[in-house]
Amino acid sequence: MEQIKLYPLKFDPIYQYRIWGGRRLSKLLTKPLPENELTGEAWILSDRDDHPSKVTNGPLAGKTIKELFEQLPYELMGQYVNRFKRFPLLLKFLDCQQVLSVQVHPADDEKKYIPQGENGKTEAWVVLETGDDAIIYAGLRPGTNEATIRESLGKHNIAEDLACFKPDVGDCVLIKAGTVHTLGDVVVFEVQENSDVTYRLYDWDRVDEKTGKPRDLQVEEAIACIDFSKTDICPVTPQVEVAERILCEKLVEDEHFSLWRNTGSTTFMVGKENTPHVLICIEGHGELESNNEFYPLKKGEVMLIPAIAGACPFVPKGHAILLELGIGSSH
C-alpha cells in the first residue's frame, strides 16, 4: 500500500436496522435497502471496529478506513496525524420515520459515563426531507430541572419538558453533548464525534417488534449527563461566506467539526491543504478534480479528500448542493 498515493475516496454505505426507521433512504442512496426491514441509518463514513467503511473506488477498493488510517496516517490526516487514534468523525443519513428515543450524550470530560476507548458525542443534523409530523426536540424548556424530569418520567409526559420546533428542509441543528434531544418524521444528514455512547431517557413506551420487548433505558446515566443550561435549541443561522458564483454557507464551527453548504452550478474549491475534508452530495452531481484525475460524486454519496490532496476544484454538472466537512475549527 505504501506504493499507492492516496486519492479522493468513496465508501459503501452500511445500513442499520432501527425500530424507528423506514424506507426513505432508498430515494437518497442507490445501494438497495435490506428487504422487509426498517432501515433507520446509513453509516456513510465510519471508522468503527464493528462497522468499518470500505473504499469503493480506485486501487484501494476494499480497504477499510481503519486500514488507511493505520498504514497511511500522514497522507490521510496531515496536521492531525498524531491527534487521534482513529478517524474522529462518524457520518450518517437517518430516516426517522418515527420519533427516536429521548436521549442524551455525555461530554468528552465526563469520563465516568464514557466506556474505555470511547469519547463524548457532539453532533449536528442537516434536514433533507420532512413529513407531515416532522418534529425536532432540542434542549429543555427553561426552568426544567432534575426533579421536574423525574416527575414527568413517572407520568410518561417527558415531552412537556422539551423544547421543540417543526423543521424545514435545509435547517441545520447543532446538538452539543449534554443536550436532551430527539427527532421524528424527517430524513437528515448527521455528523458526530466518532462515538456510540447514547443514554436513553424515555422511549415512548413502545415495544421492539424484533424482540417483543421494550428497549433498555439508562435513566440515571442520562440524567447525570444532562446539561440543564441547554434550553430552546433552534436551527443555526448560516453565515454566508461566498454568494457570487456559488452560495457558500458556514453552518457549524465547533471544536470537533466545521460544516459548510455549497450551492450552485459553477466550479468552486473544496478541501484544504494538509487537512482531510469530507464531501457529501445531497442534491445533483458533479466531479472533483485532483492530480489531473476526475472523481464523480452524485446525490447520496460521500467522498473523503485526504490531507495530501489539499484544495481541489469541484465541478457541478448542473445545479448541485454539496456539504463539506472539516475536522475541528476552521480557524
The residue annotated as part of the active site, out of 18, 24, 200, 261, is 200
**Do 219 and 79 fall within a single domain?**
yes
How many domains is the chain built from? 2
Note whether 155 and 179 are same-domain residues: yes
Assess whether 199 and 286 both reside in one domain. Answer: no
Region class of 204: left (phi > 0), else alpha (psi between -120 and 50), else beta: left
103-150, pLDDT tens digit by residue?
999 999 999 999 998 999 999 999 999 999 999 999 999 999 999 999
User: Is the same domain home to 207 and 287?
Assistant: no
Residues 127 and 246 reside in one and the same domain: no
Identify the domain containing residue 113 by its residue range.
9-225
3 assigned to some structural domain:
no
Q: Mapping DSSP to helix (H, G, I), strand (E, B) and coil, where does residue 31 land?
A: coil
Whether 169 maps to a domain, the answer reads yes
226 pLDDT band (50/70/90 cuts)? very high
Q: For residue 81, is it within any domain?
A: yes
- pLDDT value for 1: 57
Mean pLDDT of the chain: 95
CB 8 within 8 A of CB 306: yes
- 69: confidence class by pLDDT, cuts 50, 70, 90: very high
Average pLDDT on 202-226 reads 94
Tell me: do 269 and 201 sit in the same domain.
no
The residue to which cell 458564483 is assigned: 245
107 and 57 share one domain: yes
HEC secondary structure over 184-227: EEEEEEEEEECCCCCEEEECCCCCECCCCECCCCCHHHHHHHCC
Q: Do residues 168 and 21 share a domain?
A: yes
Contact 163, 232 (CB under 8 A): yes
Band of pLDDT at residue 239, cut at 50, 70 and 90: very high
Cα(236)–Cα(14) distance, integer angstroms: 29
Asked whether residue 108 falls in the same domain as residue 202, the answer is: yes
200 noted as active-site residue: yes
- Cα four-point dihedral sign 17, 277, 174, 104: positive
Q: What CATH number does residue 171 fall under?
A: 2.60.120.10
Residues 207 and 277 in one domain: no
Q: Answer yes or no: do 86 and 201 share one domain.
A: yes
Q: Would the pLDDT of 331 be above 80? A: no
**pLDDT tens figures, 147-180:** 999 999 999 999 999 999 999 999 999 999 999 9
Looking at the fold, whether 198 and 95 belong to one and the same domain comes out as yes
